[in-house]
Chain A
Amino acid sequence: MTMTLTSGRAGFLPARTMRRIRGVAGFLTAIVTTYLGLLAVTFFIGRVVPVDPVLAILGDRASPAAMARVREELGLNLPLWQQFFIYLRQVLAGDLGTSVLTTNPVTTDIVHVFPATLELATFGTLIGTILGVPLGVLAAVKRGSLVDQGIRLVGLAGYSIPIFWLALLGLLLFYAKLSWVAFPGRIDIVYEYDFTPITGLFLLDALLQGKWDVAWDVFRHIVLPASLLGYFSLAYISRMTRSFMLNELGQEYVVAARAKGLSEPRIIWRHALRNAAVPLVTVIALSYAGLLEGSVLTETVFSWPGIGLYITNSLQNADMNGVLGGTLVIGSVFIALNLMSDLLYRTLDPRTRAK
């Protein structure tokens, strides 16, 4: 799903304008096609699975008459393509339907659950990036040394240990034994019903309202799950940083810089990392998008009411409106992050900037 906005080299004005227009049109077509494809695939998978959605609404004991009535209300008696067009029309009108599980409009639900995931994923990505990039650079610089081996071990462990197991272990140690962190959920029940969030990002809300005790409590709740997600993305980011850096360190300009007598830290951090940063941005953006999808297992273990849990719950209950709405949001996140990393490319890599 990578889309590139970058146009080629500058030319004459009319041709450039034409290319711009063509570029924007191509970009818009790509977005529309992506959305349409996303909707169609999710919709048809949702309808093909051998689960009766009426069961989810009425349960196992309802009368056949009631079942038939609900089937009709949901439009399930119509041909599949017709159902799809009705759904498409609703979505275009900004209506994602009503969730069977929560009885709320899906949009309301998503506005409610998405900030929980956003907060967690942002925190996690920050941790993963701040630790992962330096570790990756270090591993590349000290290639083959014990440090490199150590970092590889940490990375491999982060990537291969099941996260729910690590989560339970973390809870056992930091919550049950040491009482350093708080659990379960996003906030202690003492605050939960006196604290009115504005943005839904609890940490930000508490700080904005100057409620320091609430902010501290929220921090104690988020730090463990965010660290776990951070560790998970650290593993990936550090491995990728290492390989990008190795690639850069082998380049001639590094040799030239050394010959010129530049200090090693300057070569590594200023020159090599700067060039490695270009592909690294995509890696970090994709890992961020991955976390924004909602880490179902982490959310389950920590009772974190995020979007991953919401979609899984909807799926298990054959609540297709919830699944479709959630998938749409995640698709949008991917598209937006791709777009953003493309834009960042232009800032980081002068070659991609149109003159």
Chain B
Amino acid sequence: MTKHPRNELLALAAGVSLAVLMAGAPALATTPKDTLVEAFAIDDIISLDPAESFELSAAEVISNTYDQLVRLDLNDTTKVVGDLAESWTVSPDGLTFTFKLKPGLVFASGNPITAEDMAWSFERMVKLDKSPAFLIEQLGLTGDNVTEKAKAVDSTTFTLTLDKPYAPSFVLNVMAASPVSAVDKKLVMPHAKAVTPTSDYKYDTDFGNGWLKTNYAGSGAFTLKIWKANEAVVLERNDKYFGAKAKLARVIFRHMKESAGQRLALEAGDIDVARNLEPGDLAAVTKNEALVTDSAAKGTVYYISLDQKNPILAKPEVREAFKYLVDYDAVGKQLLKGVGEIHQAFLPKGQLGALDENPFKLDVAKAKELLAKAGLPDGFSVTMDVRSTQPVSGVAESFQQTAALAGVKIDIIPGDGKQVLTKYRARKHDIYIGQWGSDYWDPNSNAQTFASNPDNSDQTKSKTLAWRNAWDIPALTAKTEAALLEKDSAKRAQIYQDLQKSVMAEGPFINVWQQIEVAGVSAKLKGFKLGPTFDSNFLAPISKD
């Protein structure tokens, strides 16, 4: 190091410029012709075993790689159509469903799909008792009775016996959920690990759960090739699929969290689809001629809720007053901007019985009048727990400002998602803002949580949203239960409409908006369409120019 510094700097500068020149300016990047590359925040996936995984992006992977007996009818999402099942019948007493499988079905492994596989898939789901197990447990299945109640009559006939004559629409909607998939028993069982039974887990096998978390045993339009947590999911076309074959050979979901980064990569052609665009980036994509956008209303509704353990918030006039203290118009136009639409009922649009009316708007005078009636003419102070993500925190701030106009001083307590949720589940909040995504595409999923609270005590087994806000409602709870047994779909829809109206009028919930999922898409893609649910974003019809 004896050179003169100036010479060294010069050499360095020359080196840098050379490197820059060498890097040149290659042509715009493109993704391979037979491959779809989607940028997608997939860090929520913790397992790809259908009996265990219940996260949003996992549901999309499962629904494209596994098949269920029935599927939602995408043209009318209040109905289902057969998927693996060719037909089904319900016994006169409403207790037994008999499904007839389509002939000649095979898994991607080449093994035939039999009613035995279906029965075993039900058995492992109930016995493993992971997050999605409740889906079929609510039909009366337990670890002790599942092999009796869900069984194969012959190789193509599967029967399911319920504990109560539930509405057929409810049963079928549950069966259409992605966790209720056919799993290849012959393929999985050799990988099952022996376990020592305990008082909590009575079985001597893990039903292949440890293996299937990261492996694949399905029959869908695509097969799962690779899942690298927080990095990528790679799917490949299943040439043995019984339905219309996928047009592309390979689909790669690449984990990207940042909206701006997704937009840049989309504009540069390194990805074909950007799935997590925020309003600003979405607007930029809309203006780009080489790109198009797609959107679909999803089954997630956002609400503000008032803990009824707080004596002030428990006053009916106060509950009602808050419903006039949200500036719905401004929230919709300025904060949601394409990623949500104002929706004041607890059922998302597209579900059986969903109410599509928004009776409330910002009315400070009316809210003041109601507060005065409650003996609070000067307002009061209260806290609100808010998770620090957009658009939720933006809406919370808007609500804080409009509530102040009526003298209600809201202290926002910001927090991380899990932290806020822990507090909410322990009923230690005052006001909460959050979302509820339907677990399955049936009105019962939301009704059971917004309009039902079987046991308001702290030791309850069922921590519904009504429970979390300590809203004790025996009459509505009974009505929600009755709706589940209503065989006539039209009558059933009517009950849910009444329930929504009751919650709107008296409930501690201020339902504000319904989520709209958006995607920025390369104009070269054909057939990209977001579905109405997270497990109906189908990849098979997508092709490339």
Contacts and interface: CB of A to CB of B under 8 A. Distances in A.
Interface of A: 49-52, 55-66, 69, 72, 100-104, 109, 130-131, 134, 137-138, 141, 168, 171-172, 175-176, 178-185, 189-190, 192-193, 220, 265-266, 268-270, 273, 300-303, 305, 309-310, 313, 316-318
Contacts of B129: 63, 65-66
Contacts of A176: 264, 267-268
B31 A56 contact: no
11 contacts: A56-B418, A69-B200, A102-B230, A176-B267, A179-B25, A189-B32, A189-B35, A269-B3, A301-B261, A303-B258, A303-B261
- Sorted nearest first, the 10 A-B pairs with minimum C-beta distance are A102-B229, A69-B200, A52-B422, A51-B418, A180-B23, A303-B256, A269-B1, A51-B419, A176-B264, A59-B131
Contacts of B104: none
Contacts of B3: 265, 269
A50 B423 contact: yes
B362 interface: no
A306 B270 CA distance: 21
Contacts of A190: 32
B422 A51 contact: yes
Interface string B1-21: 111110011001000000010
B252 interface: yes
Given A61-B439, A131-B12, A183-B261, A318 B418 contact: yes
Contacts of A72: 200
A185 B254 contact: yes
Given A50-B423, A103-B214, A270 B264 contact: no
A84 B408 CA distance: 45
Interface stretch (B39-47, B76-84, B162-170, B469-477): B39-47
B461 interface: yes
Nearest to A164: B258
A8 B258 CA distance: 53
Interface in B443-491: 461, 463
A305 B46 CA distance: 17
A134 B261 contact: no
Contact of A50 (B24, B131, B258, B422): B422
Contacts of A58: 130-131
Nearest to A172: B264
A130 B24 CA distance: 24
Contacts of B54: 59, 61
B46 A55 contact: no
A220 B19 CA distance: 11
Nearest to B26: A179
B47 A103 contact: yes
A332 to B, nearest CB: 22
Contacts of B43: 101, 313
Contact of B268 (A101, A183, A303): A183
Given A56-B418, A269-B2, A61 B39 contact: no
A189 B416 contact: no
Interface residues of B, number: 65
A336 to B, nearest CB: 26
Contacts of B270: 182-184
A261 to B, nearest CB: 16
A51 B234 CA distance: 32
B72 interface: no
B18 to A, nearest CB: 13
A49 B456 CA distance: 27
A52 B9 CA distance: 55
Contact of A134 (B9, B230, B439): B9
A134 B2 contact: no
Given A49-B419, A50-B419, A189-B35, A63 B5 contact: no
Contact of A184 (B2, B55, B265, B461): B265
Given A66-B133, A270-B1, 4 more contacts: A63-B134, A69-B200, A172-B264, A301-B260
Given A183-B268, A189-B35, A310 B230 contact: yes
A189 B232 CA distance: 10
Nearest to A274: B1
B28 interface: yes
Contacts of B26: 179
Given A183-B265, A189-B35, A138 B9 contact: yes
B255 interface: yes
Contact of A305 (B1, B35, B230, B268): B230
Given A59-B131, A316-B418, A184 B39 contact: yes
B226 interface: yes
B8 A316 contact: no
Nearest to A104: B229
A305 B231 contact: yes
Contact of B5 (A51, A102, A137): A137
A269 B130 CA distance: 66
A131 B9 CA distance: 9
A301 B264 CA distance: 11
B139 interface: no
A255 to B, nearest CB: 21
Contact of B131 (A62, A185, A265): A62
A301 B258 contact: yes
Nearest to B263: A176
Contacts of B463: 64
B516 to A, nearest CB: 22
Given A63-B461, A64-B461, A313 B35 contact: no
A317 B230 contact: no
Contacts of A109: 229
Interface string B230-251: 1110100000000000000000
Nearest to A299: B257
Contact of A61 (B1, B131, B265): B131
Contacts of A137: 5
Contacts of B226: 193
A172 B23 CA distance: 17
Contacts of B47: 103
A346 to B, nearest CB: 21
A60 B417 CA distance: 11
B421 interface: yes
A57 B35 CA distance: 33
Interface in B305-354: none
Given A60-B421, A134-B5, A189 B252 contact: yes
Contacts of A273: 1
Interface hub of B37, B134, B416 (most chain A Cβ within 10 A): B416
A316 B416 contact: yes
B102 interface: no
Contact of B264 (A175, A185, A193): A175
Contacts of B544: none
Contacts of A184: 39, 254, 256, 261, 265, 270
Nearest to A220: B23
Given A52-B418, A69-B200, A179-B26, A309 B5 contact: no
